[in-house]
Amino acid sequence: MKRICPALSTSAALVGVLALGACAGTWRDGTTEESSGLTPLQFGDIPCPDGMTLQTGLNESHSIEVGEFRYGDLFYYGSLPVPDIADYMQRSMPRHAWELVSEEWNDGRVVQTWRRVPQTVRCEIHEDASGVVRMHVHVRTPG
């Protein structure tokens, strides 16, 4: 029988508990992931239409926010029509003080660029070859 160092097994258990705790989202205002409807990856002031699902497996979507600094790549999928998502973003983003800088349509793909000093959001929406609608929300604070 192999003996395990008690200090090592205790350390491993502590790391596991901390990792599990990091998965549960708690926002600055004390609300939780469940009560806010958002995941810790999402930013509360960047809306997403109902019917679009955040891709979280294999770390496809990721984000960080430290003070005024933001960085994120959020990938969504769904079946809403591309123009409906673009219209939703045009109606919803200004409610969070985002200003539309540009909108470009090309072959059924739309790219919207939004600005709210000091951040920029680029939202790319298109339908892929399998008929799934994809939305990539690219959040950056220029450095």
∠32-39-125 over CA atoms, to 5°? 150
User: Beta strands of the chain (E only): which ranges?
Assistant: 52-54, 62-66, 69-78, 99-106, 109-116, 119-127, 133-140
Are both 52 and 64 inside the same structural domain? yes
Output the pTM of the full model.
0.71
Are both 31 and 52 inside the same structural domain? no
How far apart (Å, rounded) are the C-alpha atoms in residues 7 and 13?
Answer: 10
Are both 56 and 111 inside the same structural domain? yes
Q: Residue for token digits 């979507």? A: 61
| CATH code of residue 129 | 3.30.310
Are both 110 and 90 inside the same structural domain? yes
Query: Residues 5-49: pLDDT tens digits?
Result: 545 444 444 334 333 333 333 333 343 434 334 456 788 899 999
Q: What is the mean pLDDT of the chain?
A: 80
∠134-140-141 over CA atoms, to 5°? 165
